[in-house]
Structure 1
Amino acid sequence: MKSEAMQYPTATNTFTFLFFSFTVLFSFFSFLVFLFRMKPWCNCHTCRAYLTLTWTKQFNNLADWYTHLLRKSPTATIHMHVLGNIITADPNNVEYILKTRFDNYPKGKQFSTLLGDLLGRGIFNVDGEAWRFQRKMASLELGSVAIRSYALEVVTKEIRSRLFNIFNQNDGVLDLQDIFRRFSFDNICIFSFGLDPGCLEPSLPVSDLAVAFDDASKLSAERAMMASPIIWKMKRLLNIGSEKKLKEAVKVVNDLAEEMIKQRREMGHSTSKDLLSRFMSSVNDDKDLRDIVVNFLLAGRDTVAAALTCFFLLLSKNPQVESLIREELDRVMEPAQDVARFDQLCDMHYLNAAVHESMRLYPPVQFDSKFALQDDVLPDGTFVRKGTRVTYHPYAMGRMERIWGSDCLEFKPERWLRDGVFVPKCPFKYPVFQAGPRVCLGRELALVEMKSAVAASVRRFDIRVVNTGSEPRFMPGLTATVRGGMPVQVSERRQ
């Protein structure tokens, strides 16, 4: 017995040593494979500038540096060899990737792995049949008149009961980005879950869900910035550092989502208007329901907040645009009316043009990537090797003279109007809402929310960004979040 007892820990220690040795060797081998694919020895000017960060001497944002490189490129396409990434701002390439050869450019396993812990197998993180099923189901729901009416109802209530109060009670400088993030989070939670987190209450409370969701989004995006996926995968295996924080944040999101689903099942969902209740009629698996709703939570929160934040930055720099918006609001809305109706929003062509023009210069999602399934050649002649990341760049495209003309850097809503009527542009030169089969299903809902917030705020308040002289600096992430927020001064207009 004593001999067996002495042998047991020896066997355990041997197994532990062998397992650890295998893990180290496997990680080292995987890292060597990654280095081989990454080609860190590339000594071209672009790759050298990226690796040494010398581009930061001239540009505040990586997106601005990419814009500079894409402008200089004869084909509006560049190669980032060290990242295995082809980046393009050519509308013909964008159409080819998003429509013509859609099946050859899926999200890809690389992308879904990065965001899998947060987004699971939701619509923004899957390809193939799983995507087609969710797409069809979401299209039926989001395209209905009832759901659009409910969305406007939610937004209108949030504007009247909370946004106005925040602006009225303001006696100093507000962080407009924080206000709009709270505003959009309340809206999307009520719309998606039927849950009101109350983020825009006068005390500006801290929401555990909002904090967890922010952390999970940020940490998931940071995975893509690491030198090798081996790093974050090892941290996740050992449950340390950023991966431990991500796991904790995702657990908070999951726990709340599961509680909401449980409550809906107990209460009955047939009479509820929120998205979760509607999907329950078609989806029985709670994990699938969680993934679907969390995906819409991501899409409907940060994108709207980012778009609204940068809109008011441009409005502060262009008071003549604000005056023309107010003239249109006075024509379309009734004198004492505070929030526009849906039919009135449809008649606000100049406002619609201004919102689209703002997102041309500051798209909420600055770039989007796909991964090539097979070798291919883009319309501009660029060869794409199987497995290569291919990125189209809406931020850079909005600043390309060859696409928008010599006045491409000007905030000019008139470029969207013909005889005073809003005319949409080709989606492949303006892929702010993507294009092709994956075009954003929530586009109209997002535009209604943005236009409602802008119309109500501009008609009643003067909102001025404190420092309009400096260009915004964006934080790394899934959406365009301004580093340090957007300080503004708000005052009620004198009629």
Structure 2
Amino acid sequence: MEIENNASILMVVFILFISLFCTCFIFYKTKVHCRCKICHAYVTSSWSFEFDNLCDWYTHLLQNSPTKTIHIHVLHNTITSNHQNVEYMLKTRFENYPKGKAFSAILGDFLGRGIFNVDGDSWRFQRKMACLELGKMSMKAHAFEVVKYEIDHRLTPLLSSCTRKEHQVLDFQDVFRRFSFDVICKFSFGYDPKCLHESFPMSELAIAFDLASQLSAQRAMTTSPLVWKIKRLLNVGSERRLQESINMVNKFANEVIRQRKKLGSCCNHEDLLSRFMAKTKDSIYLRDIVISFLLAGRDTVASSLTGLFWVLAQQPKVVDAIRAEAMMVTQHEAFTSFEQFHELHYLHAVVYEGMRLFPPIQFNSKFCLQDDTLPDGTFVRKGTRVTYHSYAMGRMETIWGSDCLAFKPERWLKDGVFYQENPFKYPVFQAGYRTCLGKEMALVEIKSVILSFLLRFDIEIAYPSLTPRFSPGLTATYAGGLPLRVRERRGKI
């Protein structure tokens, strides 16, 4: 027992020594090689005295930069909100700005060789397969039916039960995460976790998935990858918790694949995994695909809905306009197919405007393969991380005008018809060769929830003084959630 105690003490001392060494090394590098105010503010976190969120500080810096580009030298990161730079990275010089080995290393334990963590032939193969399947009318119809079922049989009954409890406050971020998790699991794998059941069961898988996403994102925020790599080597702290959560997610993915293989071709399955299995039998590859689609279909939709409802709860005129358009299009009848959503131009504009101000993925990074110069004149050295900041871009006067901070769906309409802005000015769904393949399905899911909700219920923010604060994660997550009160509408259609 004494030997074990001594070993534990030695391990703690060793970890403290390594942590101290890394801290001193980073401080030395910062102090000697970079004396700029931006790096000092980042390392000391002094930016937090003035800004609630790191993304708001970055936005402030980018707004005041003549080129709309800044440098965080201690992170070897160039950050831009210049749409010409974005087009250059995602289209003009696409091959020179891959995700890169550094990014793949950060997310490799979690996402493996999934589509969001690879470049080159592996990315092209997965994208081609996904594009073929997601583009099929049968898949679109299947997705709509899954969403409709979850709304009619889970979401609406849950909200109705809440209206009967006076003054009850519901965390809508939690509700939307449960909803989107059920939907993506049923659509992609034919599995129903029932997270949105009225009993509100806690899904161990969802909890593990959240933790894996959060801790993987924290790796990217360290000033040196040496910190998390040493912790991973020693299997301590956040890296130990990350590995435990990843193991649980992998166990789920492997079990889903095993069950699908067991069923074989005797059943005609509509789920996405079954269609991918017809193209490849590599279990590890399929596992990585499962996890990647979970990340894409769950977190981004939930984050988008949370941001939109945060805004809609404070925009009664916008809510009235959404209801009026829906009544005009449907003539008081229910929406029965995803084609009907194409007629709702104002609703479409509302969704785009909401994601302009609160994008589900606030920034996206690539790594420069060879020395290059961006269109704004910024020199980028080989190996530099280059980030385009969607959150900041939505707040740029140079792109959206002097009213860029106002929620104004009309900016997306011309004569009442939705008008698509240059995607490189609005890279919420990425742009160019990496444009989101699930964009159309995500929009139908988001609009379905908004319509079904607003046509039946009224909402208000429980604590009006609340301001958005974000937690670390691969997608925008609101610290403290989104507390809303719900009331049944009178005269609902």
TM-score, normalised via structure 1 length: 0.92
Q: Does 1:114 align with 2:106?
A: yes
- 1:433 maps to 429
Deviation at 1:143, TM superposition (A): 1.0
Q: Does 1:271 align with 2:268?
A: yes
Deviation at 1:334, TM superposition (A): 4.1
Question: Which ranges of structure 2 fall in alignment gaps of 5 or more residues?
Answer: 1-14
Question: Which ranges of structure 1 fall in alignment gaps of 5 or more residues?
Answer: 1-22
Deviation at 1:82, TM superposition (A): 1.4
Query: Size of the alignment, in residue pairs?
Result: 472
- 1:58 maps to 50
For 1:181, what is the secondary structure of its paired residue?
Answer: helix
Give the Cα–Cα distance (whole angstroms) in 1 for the partners of residues 16 and 144 of structure 2. 55
Question: Following superposition of structure 1 onto structure 2, how do residues 344-423 of structure 1 map, counting pairs within 5 Å?
Answer: 344-423=340-419
Deviation at 1:365, TM superposition (A): 0.3
Computing the radius of gyration over CA atoms, which structure comes out larger, 1 or 2? 1
Give the Cα–Cα distance (whole angstroms) in 2 for the partners of residues 341 and 420 of structure 1. 22
Q: Does 1:179 align with 2:171?
A: no
- 2:133 maps to 141
Q: Does 1:256 align with 2:252?
A: yes
Deviation at 1:236, TM superposition (A): 1.5
Q: Match for 2:332 among 331, 335, 351? A: 335
Give the Cα–Cα distance (whole angstroms) in 1 for the partners of residues 346 and 443 of structure 2. 13
Q: Please list the CA deviations of residues 203-242 of structure 1 after superposition, one character each: whole Å capped at 9, or x if unmatched.
A: 1101111011111111111111223212221221222221
Q: Match for 1:312 among 304, 309, 312? A: 309
Give the Cα–Cα distance (whole angstroms) in 2 for the partners of residues 306 and 221 of structure 1. 16
Q: Does 1:247 align with 2:243?
A: yes
Structure 1 pair 82–261 and aligned structure 2 pair: CA distance change class (3 A) = same
Deviation at 1:180, TM superposition (A): 0.3
- 1:424 maps to 420
Once the two structures are overlaid, the 10-residue window that deviates more, 25-34 or 206-215, is 25-34
Native 8 Å contact 2:75 2:223 kept in 1: no
Native 8 Å contact 2:188 2:271 kept in 1: yes
Give the Cα–Cα distance (whole angstroms) in 2 for the partners of residues 168 and 229 of structure 1. 48
Give the Cα–Cα distance (whole angstroms) in 2 for the partners of residues 152 and 257 of structure 1. 24
Q: Match for 1:488 among 475, 484, 487? A: 484
Structure 1 pair 121–32 and aligned structure 2 pair: CA distance change class (3 A) = farther
Q: Match for 2:200 among 193, 198, 204? A: 204
Report the residue type matching 2:47 in the other structure.
W
Deviation at 1:467, TM superposition (A): 2.7
Report the residue type matching 2:280 in the other structure.
V
Report the residue type matching 2:148 in the other structure.
T
Q: Please list the CA deviations of residues 245-273 of structure 1 after superposition, one character each: whole Å capped at 9, or x if unmatched.
A: 11111111111111111111111246101
Report the residue type matching 2:324 in the other structure.
E
For 2:278, what is the secondary structure of its paired residue?
Answer: coil
For 1:103, what is the secondary structure of its paired residue?
Answer: helix
Deviation at 1:27, TM superposition (A): 11
Give the Cα–Cα distance (whole angstroms) in 2 for the partners of residues 267 and 471 of structure 1. 49
Give the Cα–Cα distance (whole angstroms) in 1 for the partners of residues 117 and 23 of structure 2. 25
TM-score, normalised via structure 2 length: 0.92
Report the residue type matching 1:332 in the other structure.
V
- 2:281 maps to 284
Give the Cα–Cα distance (whole angstroms) in 1 for the partners of residues 62 and 225 of structure 2. 27
Once the two structures are overlaid, the 10-residue window that deviates more, 116-125 or 24-33, is 24-33
Give the Cα–Cα distance (whole angstroms) in 1 for the partners of residues 289 and 333 of structure 2. 40
- 1:164 maps to 156
- 2:323 maps to 326
Native 8 Å contact 1:333 1:340 kept in 2: no
Q: Does 1:300 align with 2:300?
A: no
For 1:111, what is the secondary structure of its paired residue?
Answer: helix
Native 8 Å contact 1:401 1:407 kept in 2: yes
Q: Does 1:471 align with 2:490?
A: no
For 1:51, what is the secondary structure of its paired residue?
Answer: helix
Native 8 Å contact 1:400 1:408 kept in 2: yes
- 2:440 maps to 444
Native 8 Å contact 2:74 2:223 kept in 1: no
Deviation at 1:304, TM superposition (A): 0.5
Deviation at 1:40, TM superposition (A): 6.1
Q: Match for 2:75 among 83, 88, 91? A: 83
Task: Report the identity percentage.
Answer: 59
Q: Does 1:124 align with 2:120?
A: no
Structure 1 pair 137–319 and aligned structure 2 pair: CA distance change class (3 A) = same
Structure 1 pair 40–445 and aligned structure 2 pair: CA distance change class (3 A) = farther
Deviation at 1:34, TM superposition (A): 7.4
- 1:92 maps to 84
Deviation at 1:29, TM superposition (A): 10
- 1:213 maps to 209
Deviation at 1:446, TM superposition (A): 0.5
For 2:361, what is the secondary structure of its paired residue?
Answer: coil
For 2:455, what is the secondary structure of its paired residue?
Answer: helix
Deviation at 1:158, TM superposition (A): 0.1
Q: Please list the CA deviations of residues 36-71 of structure 1 after superposition, one character each: whole Å capped at 9, or x if unmatched.
A: 876764121111211222211111011111111111
Native 8 Å contact 1:104 1:374 kept in 2: yes
Give the Cα–Cα distance (whole angstroms) in 2 for the partners of residues 28 and 316 of structure 1. 47
Report the residue type matching 1:48 in the other structure.
H
Q: Please list the CA deviations of residues 141-200 of structure 1 after superposition, one character each: whole Å capped at 9, or x if unmatched.
A: 111111111111100000000000110011200000000000000001111111100000
Give the Cα–Cα distance (whole angstroms) in 2 for the partners of residues 341 and 234 of structure 1. 52
Structure 1 pair 224–108 and aligned structure 2 pair: CA distance change class (3 A) = same
Report the residue type matching 1:276 in the other structure.
L
Give the Cα–Cα distance (whole angstroms) in 2 for the partners of residues 329 and 341 of structure 1. 14
Deviation at 1:468, TM superposition (A): 3.6
Deviation at 1:469, TM superposition (A): 3.6
Give the Cα–Cα distance (whole angstroms) in 2 for the partners of residues 253 and 40 of structure 1. 43
Give the Cα–Cα distance (whole angstroms) in 2 for the partners of residues 258 and 220 of structure 1. 21
Native 8 Å contact 2:30 2:40 kept in 1: no
Give the Cα–Cα distance (whole angstroms) in 2 for the partners of residues 326 and 26 of structure 1. 59
